[in-house]
Copies of this chain bind each other. A is one copy, B any other.
Amino acid sequence: MKPDSPFYAHTLKALRQSELFGRLDEAVIQEMLLSFQRETWPKKSIVMQPEQTTRRFYVVISGRAKMTRVNPDTGREFTIFLLGAGDGFDVVSLLDGKKHNVSVTAMDDIEVLTAPFDTIHEWIERHPSFNRGFLPYIGKLIRQLTSLASDLALLDTGTRLAKLLLRHTTQGSPHPRLRLINDLSHEELAGMIGSVRVVVSRYLQGLKKEGIVVARRGQLEVNRLQALVERIEKHPGFKDK
Contact = CB atoms under 8 A, between A and B. Distances in A.
Contact of A146 (B92, B94, B131, B235): B92
A71 B155 contact: yes
A71 B151 CA distance: 9
A91 B124 CA distance: 19
A101 B236 CA distance: 17
Interface string A110-121: 000000000000
A141 B141 CA distance: 11
B152 A194 contact: yes
Interface in A124-140: 124-125, 128, 131, 135-136, 138-140
Contacts of A43: none
Interface stretch (A27-35, A74-82, A198-206): A74-82
Which residue of A95, A150, A238 has the most chain B CB atoms within 10 A of its CB atom? A150
B102 A146 contact: yes
Contacts of A95: 135-136, 138-139, 142
A155 B98 CA distance: 24
A69 interface: yes
Contacts of A139: 91-96, 98
Which residue of A96, A100, A131 has the most chain B CB atoms within 10 A of its CB atom? A96
B238 A150 contact: no
A199 to B, nearest CB: 13
Contacts of A74: 154, 236
Contacts of A154: 69-71, 74, 76, 78, 194
A149 interface: yes
A94 B71 CA distance: 34
Complex A-B, nearest 5 residue pairs according to Cβ-Cβ distance, in ascending order: A153-B194, A95-B139, A96-B139, A145-B145, A152-B152
10 contacts: A69-B240, A78-B149, A92-B142, A92-B146, A95-B138, A102-B146, A131-B131, A138-B138, A148-B149, A152-B152
